Amino acid sequence: MEYVYAALLLHSAGKEITEDNVKNVLKGAGIEPDDARVKALIASLKEVNIEEAIKQAAVAPAAAPAAPAAAPAEEKKEEKKAAEEEKKSEEEAAGGLASLFG
C-alpha cells in the first residue's frame, strides 16, 4: 500500500512518477523499497489516468456502507435464535433432572 501512497504523493506534488522518485519517497519514509514492486507499480500506472481513478474512488465509498449495515441486523436475529434454542435445551435438561428426583 505504501507504494501506491508514494505514487499518489508524487502525483499530488506534480512530480513525475518514476522508479527513482518512488524509491526516494519510500526511503524518505523509512521504507526499504523492493525493486520488483516499484517496477510493477510503474508498469501498472502507465495506462492509468490518476485523476480519473481518484474521482471514481471518491464516488464508490458512498454506496458501499449501505450493504454492511444490513449484516448486523441479521446477526442479531441469528443470535436471538441461538439464545432461544439454548434456553429451550436448558429447560429440557432441567425438566429431565426433575423427573429423576420426583
> Could you give the 3-state DSSP secondary structure of residue 6?
helix
Q: How far apart are CA 83 and CA 88, in angstroms?
A: 9
Give me the tens of pLDDT residue by residue for the chain, a chain 102 residues long.
899 999 999 998 999 999 999 999 999 999 999 999 999 999 998 888 888 888 888 876 555 555 555 556 566 666 766 666 666 666 666 665 555 555
Question: What is the per-residue pLDDT for 15?
Answer: 92
- The whole model's pTM is what? 0.54
Q: How far apart are CA 16 and CA 50, in angstroms?
A: 12
Q: How far apart are CA 40 and CA 19, in angstroms?
A: 10
Question: What is the per-residue pLDDT for 48?
Answer: 87
CA separation, residue 59 to residues 54, 55, 64, 65, 82 (Å) = 9, 7, 10, 12, 39
